Amino acid sequence: MTKRSTLVLLGFLLLSVAVQAAGAWATFSEIPTWYQGLNKPDWNPPPWVFGPVWTVLYALMAVAAWLAWREVGLRSGALRLYFLQLLLNLLWSYLFFWGHSPFLALIDIGLLWLAIGATALAFRRARPLSAALLLPYWGWVGFAAALNFSIWRLNP
C-alpha cells in the first residue's frame, strides 16, 4: 500500500468519524429527554445498541469507499453517490433528533436507503468487495427506516 493510498484510507476514516460525531451532537442530548418520551414499538433496541453498531458500520463504509476509490478515483460517479448518502445519513440525525420530526426523517431515510443501494451498485462495478461491505449498512438502514416509520405512526 502506497503512502497516498494510506492517507486516502485515513481520510475516509476521519470523514466517517466526523459524520458520526456531528450526528451524535444532534442526538445525544435528545435521547434522555425527547426520545425517551416517544412511544416506540416493542422491538425498538435499547439506546446503547446504536453507538457500537454505527461505529462498525461507519468503519465498513470508509473501507468500502477507499476500495472503490482505488479503482475509480475520487471524482467518479460512485464516490459522488457515496458522499450523497453520507450527507443524507447526517441529515437524518438532525431531522429526527434535533428537529423532532420523525416524518421528515422518514422521507430522508427513504432517500438514504435508495442512495445506499445506488452506491452499492456503483461500487460493485468498481470492486465487488466494496459493495459487499455496504450491505450491513444497507440492511441496518432498512431496519432503522422501519423503526422510524413505527415511531412516526405511534406519535401522531
pLDDT at 149: 98
Q: Where are the domains of the chain?
A: 3-154
pTM assigned to the model: 0.95
* Complete DSSP assignment for the chain: --HHHHHHHHHHHHHHHHHHHHHHHHHGGGTTTTGGGS---TTPPPHHHHHHHHHHHHHHHHHHHHHHHHHH-TTSHHHHHHHHHHHHHHHHHIIIIIS--HHHHHHHHHHHHHHHHHHHHHHHHH-HHHHHHHHHHHHHHHHHHHHHHHHHHH--
Those residues of the chain that have pLDDT short of 70 are: none
pLDDT at 73: 87
pLDDT at 1: 81
Q: In terms of CATH architecture, what is 3-154?
A: Up-down Bundle (1.20)
